[in-house]
Structure formats: structure tokens, C-alpha cells
Structure 1
Amino acid sequence: MPTQQKEKAVTGQHSQTEEQEQELQQEKNSDKVTRKEQKQKKQQETSTDKTTRKEQKKDRKQEKRKRKKPRRRIFPIWLRIIVVLAISAVALAAGLMVGYGVMGGGNPTDALKWETWQHIIDIVVKKE
């Protein structure tokens, strides 16, 4: 009898370890499934977060545009162009007068006369 009890005890231990191994296997498999599910949930959450973030960003931009007052220029662009051209003409005239009068030794107002420029053109071209 003692040998039968030992055999039962040994087989009982063996069956218990097999059961434990099977339970461990099932737990591992269930862990794998839950991990996959968790990953999928995270991916879905992040994808919905991204779309909502994009939508939120668009909404913020639209709100900024609505709040922004239209800019009314006090000094319009066409007037700026005219002013720049006028300043350029004045600078050209001043440069001619300084160059002809101070550096050239002539009368500064002569630099603005047409006869002076015609004489300069004749000297440069020299018709013979």
C-alpha cells in the first residue's frame, strides 16, 4: 500500500504541475491577446487625438481670422510708389547739381538746363 500511495502522490504531483503549466500557458495567451487589444486601443486613441488636434488647430486659425480686424492702410501703396519716385527725382537733381556745380566748377543751376545737356551730348557723340 505504501507504494501505491507513493505512486498516487507522484502522479498527483505530476498532474498538478501539468495543470499549472496549462494555466500558465492560458494566462500567457490571454496576456498576448490583451496586449494586442491594448495596442489597438492606443492606436485608435492616438489617431482620434490627431484628428481632433487637427480640427482644433483649424478652428483656432479660423477664430483668429474672425477676430482679426481688416487692416486699413493710412499710407496706401500707390501713394508710396509716387513718393518714392518723387524722392528719387529730387535726389537725382541734387546729385546733378552737386556734381556739375561743386566738382565741375560750373554754376549748379546750369546742370538742370537742357542746353547744358545738349552740349554734353554733342561732345560725346562728336559729329564731324
Structure 2
Amino acid sequence: MFKRLEHFYNSKPFFLIVMIRIALFLGLALILFILGLMIGYSILGGGGSPFSVFSWEIWQKIFDFIQ
């Protein structure tokens, strides 16, 4: 019985499935992070356009405020 499980976990399709799941998780995390930045800046921060959070001037203000 353990030989079958060992063969399954060492097979290429299992490795491929795990890599696809990891890639989907990281992609979803990145998308949610970007959406969180946009919502946090435009709604909670009162910054106006949600896409303006990606401008370098905004990040420069944030970095200057932290320092």
C-alpha cells in the first residue's frame, strides 16, 4: 500500500498539480494585493482615482512620510 502512495507522490503529474496550485495561489494573492491597494487608496485614503496609486509620486510621498 505504501509503495502505491510513494509512487503517486513521486510522479510527475502530482508535482505538476502542486506547482499549478502554488502558481494560482501566488497569482490570486497578487491580484488581491493590487485590489487592496486600489481600494485602500481611493476609498479609505480619499485619494481620488484608484489607478493613481500606481504613480511614483504617490509612493515617494509615502516613503517620505515613513522616514
Q: TM-score, normalised by structure 2?
A: 0.69
**Residue 96 (structure 1) aligns with:** 37
Q: CA deviation at 1:115?
A: 2.3
Indicate if the aligned counterparts of 1:100 and 1:108 stay in contact, CA closer than 8 A.
Answer: yes
Residue 105 of structure 1: SS of its match in structure 2? coil
Relative contact order: is structure 1 or structure 2 higher (C-alpha 8 Å, sep ≥ 6)? 2
Q: TM-score, normalised by structure 1?
A: 0.39
Q: RMSD over aligned Cα, in angstroms?
A: 2.3
Equivalences, count: 59
**Residue 77 (structure 1) aligns with:** 18
Alignment identity in percent? 31
Q: CA deviation at 1:124?
A: 2.0
Q: CA deviation at 1:113?
A: 2.2
Larger radius of gyration: 1
Q: CA deviation at 1:110?
A: 1.1
Q: Distance in 2 between matches of 1:79 and 1:114?
A: 33
Q: CA deviation at 1:80?
A: 1.1
Give the unaligned 5+ runs of structure 2: none
Q: Distance in 2 between matches of 1:78 and 1:122?
A: 39
Aligned pairs (5 A) from 1:1-128: 61=1, 70=8, 72-73=13-14, 76-106=17-47, 107-125=49-67
CA deviation profile, 1:28-72 (whole Å, cap 9, x unmatched): xxxxxxxxxxxxxxxxxxxxxxxxxxxxxxxxx58xx66xxx474
Q: Distance in 1 between matches of 2:34 and 2:59?
A: 13
